Amino acid sequence: MKNYSFKKFSLVLLFFPIFCFAKDWNFDVLMDGKLIGEHTFQLKEDEKFQQLTSNANFKVTVLSIPVYKYKHTSQELWNKNCLHSINASTQDGGDAYKVLGKFEVNMFKLIEPAKEAFSAECPMTFSYWNPMMLKQSKLLNAQMGDYAEVQIKSLGKEIIKIKNENIETDSYRITAPKINIQIWYKDNKEWVKLESITPDDHHISYILK
């Protein structure tokens, strides 16, 4: 039986403000055209902060036998589109990961994994829900904890079908070591679709419910 490996499916709250606005993104996740699970995102906002909760659950089966499971949960606190803190955990097959960090006086301090703080005025994760991410040259991987250099390229406009409706979108490609992602936005601001090629050449699709 083939050994499935899906590394980098890629993606401490100090207090909890009272949030007055919420928005959800709920995606079915397909691998090579077959449904394997879902990934949900909920964004809550007040006048100053944004709290993003992300939950992913995938299960791959062969002949009805589970051969791979992936579970990821992350809570991120944002301030003016900049990451303020993160608390994320991932179960990737038999591997477990933890990412814990917070912003401290112009430095983002990673508590887990134990690494040096890095200097960044406005650090961001692979925050697909926020188009400001497209202007970044480095992004924090919420699964592995590495602050990776990325290349982001506009692919122009494209008509795609979302919920049985043809809409005009703006498409972008995000690449980094072991990362190859294409993402689509409606009106260049509303995230509507994502596709990725894994390091072992599987095609992952996020289809908006």
Domains of the chain: 21-208 (2.50.20)
Count of CB atoms situated within 10 Å of the CB of 12? 13
Q: Phi first, then psi: give them for residue 39, nearest 5 degrees.
A: -135, 120
Residue-level pLDDT at 14: 43
Query: Which pTM value belongs to this model?
Result: 0.86
Cβ atoms of 147 and 106 closer than 8 Å: no
Residue-level pLDDT at 118: 84
Residue-level pLDDT at 174: 98
Residue-level pLDDT at 197: 96
Residue-level pLDDT at 21: 65
Question: Cα torsion for 12, 99, 178, 134, to the nearest 10°?
Answer: 10
User: What contacts 12, CB < 8 A, 6 or more positions away?
Assistant: 85, 86, 87, 100, 101, 102, 111
Residue-level pLDDT at 47: 79
- The secondary structure of residue 127, as a DSSP letter, is -
Residue-level pLDDT at 7: 44
Residue-level pLDDT at 106: 80
Q: What is the mean pLDDT of each run of 10 residues along the chain (209 residues)?
A: 44 47 92 97 90 97 86 96 96 94 89 84 94 96 93 97 95 95 96 96 96
